[in-house]
Amino acid sequence: MNLKIAVLSGDGIGPEVTKESVKVLKAVAEVYGHTFEFQEALVGAIAIYEKENPLPEETLALCKSSDAVLFGAIGDPKYDNNPDAKVRPEQGLLKLRKELGLFANIRPITAYDSLLEKSPLKKEIIQGTDMVIYRELTGGIYFGEKKLNEDKTIASDLCEYSQIEIERIAHLAFKAAQVRRKKVTLVDKANVLETSRLWRRVVTALSKQYPDVTLDFLFVDNAAMQMILNPSQFDVILTENMFGDIISDEGSVIGGSIGLLASASVGDGTALFEPIHGSYPQATGKNIANPIASILSAAMLLGHFGLNEEAKRIQEAVDRTLKNNIVSVDINKENPSSTSLIGDVIAEMI
């Protein structure tokens, strides 16, 4: 297969971890006789520095003309602590999601047997956890109108959802559930929010088309508890943008390290694959970041194009490095392996 892959490694540890997933994809291409063409482009804080734009025109054009985007990370402390910055790295990612129509962010969360001891949660709590979160990604309060009055004393953000926005991601979630454990949990705050009540109404109606899938509901505050009290109860979680952001990052603690979690963003256009961790500025340039989330994002990329055997091969190589304790400092403080070594080992196994 020929695939044109745009590589947007972004800020912080983004470039380091993305380098390793490209390495692994190249190994896959070699072994399976595929042609993967990689082209790099700027996004985020680095794009602001070099092009005064967190998503330069040529980056967007490249993404649109590619088959997939491999994304690193975005964000810079310089902006985080400056509420008055007009241009922000995150705008690059948000605009890219919107422009590519990436309305569904898919985040699988599983507990690796070899890492059960690493989790802050007790082993008996996390054992058997195998869920996937479908987070709506181009609507809600992230994209609604933002206002700040002249004298900067009143601000607002609008959370808005339409039936169509809810339906298109709900279909994906129900289809995923059909080939999993056949359960969808809608997370909302329908006892308070109008948008949540719309979600509940639309998803309930649509669920009739999937009679083999059970639908249940959780208020987001309760979901934040259940995620920790009993994570193995979940199969597919479906939720809006902001709740999905919070709940999926919370869920990332289950597996013992956020450095293991991949995500796929899909929708109308080119799909995008990114680790769920951020730019982690403190670790930048030290060759200590965990590349596995990025490598597993590359595996999701392959799976997206039906290259399931190849994706599985990556997954198995990752499992083996974990079992053999070839892991970064987030998982093994005493005897960590470097970012590049882990990438080498996984590429080698393939």
Rounded Cα gap, residues 329 and 225, in angstroms: 28
- Check binding of 181 to its own copies (CB under 8 A): no
Residue 293 vs residues 159, 175, 178, 252: alpha-carbon distances, Å? 30, 24, 26, 11
**Cβ proximity of 70 and 297 under 8 Å:** yes
# residues near ligand IPM by CB under 6 A: 8
Stretch that binds its own copies, among 40-48, 62-70, 146-154, 301-309 (CB under 8 A): 146-154
Q: Which of 52, 57, 84, 212 lies at the binding interface for its own copies (CB under 8 A)? A: 84
- Check binding of 245 to ligand IPM (CB under 6 A): yes
By beta-carbon proximity to its own copies, the closer residue of 69 and 126 is 126
Neighbouring residues of 47: CB distance < 8 A, sequence distance ≥ 6: 53, 54, 55, 56, 59, 89, 92
Select which of 221, 268, 286, 312 is catalytic.
Answer: 221
| Residue 297 neighbours by CB distance under 10 Å | 25
| Residue 324 neighbours by CB distance under 10 Å | 11
Rounded Cα gap, residues 175 and 12, in angstroms: 36
- Check binding of 67 to ligand IPM (CB under 6 A): no
Catalytic site residue 221?
Answer: yes
Instruction: State the nearest-atom distance from the C-beta of 235 to its own copies, in Å.
Output: 20
- Check binding of 282 to its own copies (CB under 8 A): no
Catalytic site residue 142?
Answer: yes
**Cβ proximity of 44 and 10 under 8 Å:** yes
| Residue 233 neighbours by CB distance under 10 Å | 15
Q: Which residues are annotated as a binding site?
A: 97, 107, 135, 221, 245, 249
Binding residues (CB under 8 A) for its own copies: these are 75, 79-81, 83-84, 88, 90, 94, 120-122, 125, 141-142, 144, 146-148, 152-164, 189-195, 197-198, 200-201, 204, 217, 219-222, 224-225, 227-229, 242, 245-247, 249-250, 252-253, 258, 278
Return the active site residues.
142, 189, 221, 245, 249
